């Protein structure tokens, strides 16, 4: 009877071990949530190029990171910043269109003018050399949605589009409402909105809460809302206070009270590496992830190509970074141009982990076969009968 019991127990344990998986990107269910791998584009092409997005999808990406700003004619376009002289060749094409500060800004050019520009690329050190190209124009959000319409029928899983509202405060200075304009564009494109899952992300808590309110009537139903957290340097968000724009501070969001507030309007937090890791590459707020998970929030690490590599061997590949962020630190997901590499690594890691657990089960079964099973129960004394 002892042997039967232990074999039954072992087989029951084996049945609970998940089979090898690809590290599926969708989260939810009763089993441990798989890690969420979000593509920021093709590693050898500029972020936001339609070609880069198409190649990322062809290579298996099912979640796409889209940074959005507005043109002069209020068209949402994929650019990492409202200031475009670092991400395009605007200085060459329109040399006389800069402002007094020397900058060139997206909202000073119509969509047609922006699409005359060529995107430039900053290639991370662990990626291959850029693909040869002649002209990769600025991409309109409408172009991405049309592309999704064309390919969605051939995809095994729906695409998740993370639409990131960039520098809403600068748009406000120009009399533009970035959040409302983007949501209206997504709502108007009903065919695509029915075939993709949408997440709205913003560094600005007020902007994200307003987007949440706009989406609630039912005309537009995104899959979620992501609160992004960056440094307190004012590069992402500023507030108009005492007659001047001042950097927004994220300090409150790292408190229990702040996290509780975020959980009321968002389901995910996206962290930049710089403000949350110290010089030893440890979390400045070590309980932050646990507290966020307690409130039902997922936490992803974005811009991981900017993560300080000093912690790792110079010969180490990005797999060491994936391991550290996803399993040592415990992030629920990452945003990277190396998403295909991350998915392959995650699938291999899952398979190796499952194989190791099955080897343990096999050893237990062998051990049970060599013995009589569980020890006999102790004999009761006369005093206890």
Distance of CA 83 to the CA centre of its chain: 23
In whole angstroms, give the CA distance from residue 165 to residue 23. 28
SS3 275: coil
Burial class (CB in 10 A: 0-12, 13-18, 19+), 47: buried
For residues 96 and 133, what is the distance between their CA atoms, to the nearest angstrom?
26
The whole-number pLDDT of residue 69 equals 98
Is residue 21 pLDDT above 50, yes or no? no
Q: What integer pLDDT is reported at residue 15 of this predicted model?
A: 46
pLDDT value at 38 more than 80: yes
* Residue % of the chain over a pLDDT of 70: 76
Percent of the chain topping pLDDT 90: 61
User: pTM to 2 decimals?
Assistant: 0.82
User: Average pLDDT over the chain, rounded to whole?
Assistant: 83
Note the pLDDT of residue 128.
53
User: Which of the four pLDDT bands, split at 50, 70 and 90, describes residue 148?
Assistant: very high
Read off the pLDDT of each residue in 281-289 and give the average, rounded to a whole number. 92
Rounded average pLDDT over 296-322: 83
pLDDT of residue 311: 63
User: Which domains, from first to last, does the chain contain?
Assistant: 30-345 (3.20.20.190)
Tokens 């695509």 found at = 192
Structure confidence at residue 195 (pLDDT) = 72
Closest CA to 270 of 236, 318, 246: 236
Q: How far apart are CA 73 and CA 110, in angstroms?
A: 5
Q: Is pLDDT above 80 for 45?
A: yes
* pLDDT per position as a tens digit, 313-365: 667 788 999 999 999 999 999 999 999 999 999 999 988 876 555 555 556 55
Contact 179, 168 (CB under 8 A): yes
Cβ 161 vs Cβ 197: under 8 Å:
yes
Decide which of 281 and 38 is more confident.
38
Distance CA 62, CA 340 (A): 10
Q: pLDDT tens across 193-233, in order?
A: 667 889 999 999 999 999 998 887 665 667 899 999 999 99
Nearest Cα to 334, choosing from 20, 34, 42? 34
**Average pLDDT, integer, range 108-120:** 96
* Position with higher pLDDT, 132 vs 113: 113
To which H or E segment does residue 315 belong? none
Task: Flag whether pLDDT at 125 surpasses 60.
Answer: no
In this prediction, residue 365 carries a pLDDT of 56
Model pLDDT, residue 362: 58
Q: What is the pLDDT of residue 28?
A: 39
Say yes or no to pLDDT of 312 above 70: no
């Amino acid at each position: 009877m002892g042997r039967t019991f232990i074999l039954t127990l072992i087989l029951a344990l084996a049945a609970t071990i998940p089979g090898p998986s690809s590290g599926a990107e969708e989260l939810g269910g009763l089993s441990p949530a798989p890690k969420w791998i979000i593509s920021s584009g093709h590693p050898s092409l500029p972020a936001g190029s339609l070609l880069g997005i198409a190649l990322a999808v062809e290579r298996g990406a099912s979640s796409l990171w889209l940074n959005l700003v507005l043109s002069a004619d209020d068209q949402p376009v994929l650019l990492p910043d409202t200031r475009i002289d670092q991400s395009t060749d605007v200085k060459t094409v329109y040399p006389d269109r800069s402002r007094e500060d020397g900058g060139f800004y997206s909202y000073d050019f119509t969509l047609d003018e922006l699409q005359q520009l060529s995107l430039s690329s900053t290639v991370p050190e662990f990626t291959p050399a850029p693909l040869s190209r002649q002209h990769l124009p600025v991409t309109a959000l409408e172009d991405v949605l049309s592309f999704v319409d064309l390919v969605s029928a051939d995809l095994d899983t729906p695409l998740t589009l993370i639409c990131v509202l960039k520098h809403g405060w600068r748009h406000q200075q120009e009399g533009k409402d970035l959040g409302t304009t983007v949501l209206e564009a997504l709502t108007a494109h009903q065919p695509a909105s029915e075939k993709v899952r949408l997440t709205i992300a913003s560094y600005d808590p007020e902007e994200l809460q307003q987007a949440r309110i706009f989406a609630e009537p039912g005309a537009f139903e995104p899959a979620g809302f992501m609160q992004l957290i960056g440094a307190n340097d004012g590069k992402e968000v500023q507030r108009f206070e005492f007659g001047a724009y001042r950097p927004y501070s994220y300090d409150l969001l790292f408190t229990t009270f702040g996290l509780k507030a975020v959980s009321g309007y968002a389901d995910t937090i996206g962290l930049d590496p710089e403000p949350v890791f110290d010089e030893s590459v440890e979390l400045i707020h070590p309980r932050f992830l646990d507290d966020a998970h307690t409130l039902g929030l997922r936490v992803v690490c974005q811009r991981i190509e900017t993560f300080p590599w000093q912690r790792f061997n110079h010969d180490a590949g990005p797999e060491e970074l994936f391991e550290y962020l996803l399993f040592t630190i415990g992030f629920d997901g990452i945003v990277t141009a190396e998403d295909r590499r991350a998915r392959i690594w995650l699938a291999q890691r899952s398979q190796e982990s499952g194989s190791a657990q099955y080897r343990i089960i096999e050893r237990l079964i062998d051990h049970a076969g060599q013995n009589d099973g569980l020890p006999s129960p102790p004999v009761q004394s006369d005093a206890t009968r």
